[in-house]
Amino acid sequence: ESGFDYHNAKDIGFALGSKPDVLAVGAVFGIFGVLIEQLSRQLALPVDPIPVSIVISALVVRAVFGYSIVGKVSDKANGYFDMGPFEREEMREPGEVKGDGGKASEDRLAVEPWLPNMYKWSHVAAIGFFTGLGAGVITYNMISGGHG
């Protein structure tokens, strides 16, 4: 355990390389992703094969491990974008979430943000706006400079 306040899968700074089961699952799905990527290249599909293989692999992983494809809205939330249960620190009900490495689901918040310091809509909108603006400026400069 990393000691992270939320689901350990969100702790990208914690290495799981010392866990053989995690490495085995990663290897199996990594090979699956390479097979999808190679298949899409061989079929000459009009898509970028690497991102397509990542998306398909992610969907298959969710299905294999018993999670819904899009995600399940907590009974305590009023839709996908309601962060009220997080703000009220409401916990999950026993058995609400399957799996999760044998941990009890009631030890987790009913709704968890990816980044707890940036979950408010004003923060998310500002990040999206300025990231999009920066990407647009870079793209414009590349195209106008003959690099695109």
pLDDT at residue 32, as a whole number: 95
Over range 31-54, report the average pLDDT: 94
pLDDT at 46 over 80: yes
Tokens of 77: 């939330």
Query: For all residues of the chain together, what is the average pLDDT?
Result: 85
pLDDT at 60 over 70: yes
Say which residues have a Cβ less than 8 Å from residue 40's Cβ, sequence separation at least 6.
Answer: 47, 49, 52, 53
Closest CA to 104 of 123, 117, 91, 119: 91
pLDDT at 12 over 60: yes
DSSP string, the chain: ----SS-GGG-TTS--TT-HHHHHHHHHHHHHHHHHHHHHHHTT-SS-HHHHHHHHHHHHHHHHTT--SS----TTSSSTT--HHHHTTPBPPTTSS--STT--GGGSBSS--SSTTS-SHHHHHHHHHHHHHHHHHHHHHHHHTT--
pLDDT at 99 over 60: no
Its pTM surpasses 0.85 = no
pLDDT at 112 over 60: yes
DSSP string, 51-66: HHHHHHHHHHHHHHTT
Asked if residues 143 and 41 have their Cβ atoms less than 8 Å apart, the reply is no
pLDDT at residue 59, as a whole number: 93
d(CA 63, CA 59): 6
pLDDT at residue 98, as a whole number: 61
pLDDT in tens, 121-142: 899 899 999 999 999 999 999 9
Over range 41-47, report the average pLDDT: 93
pLDDT at 104 over 90: no
Q: How confident is the model at residue 1 (pLDDT cuts 50, 70, 90)?
A: low
d(CA 148, CA 144): 8
